[in-house]
Amino acid sequence: MDPCRPPGTDSGEGGVPSPERWRVTIMRNGSAVFRGVRTTTAPSGSFDVRRLLAGPSAGTRIVATAKSLQSGETCRGVLAL
């Protein structure tokens, strides 16, 4: 996840300062599959969360949210299969 980086920006402009801590939640069909805190890294200002989810099927909805512990800014991504 590249928290709230404006489209078309690279690591040198816009985006999130490093290091910044984010509370991350990944939900699958309304149930949490991951909760944790991640810290952005320089120079990109991004962090990674990797989870393998077994048995995705039609109608599966995955929602990832990240909230900055410093600024309170929130970012959200949705994947519908």
What's this model's pTM, rounded to 2 decimal places? 0.74
pLDDT at 7: 44
Tens digit of each residue's pLDDT, the chain (81 residues): 455 554 444 444 455 567 899 999 999 999 999 999 999 988 888 899 998 888 778 889 999 999 999 999 999 999 998
CA 79 – CA 30 distance, rounded (Å): 13
Report angle CA 78, 59, 63 to the nearest 5 degrees: 20
pLDDT at 15: 57
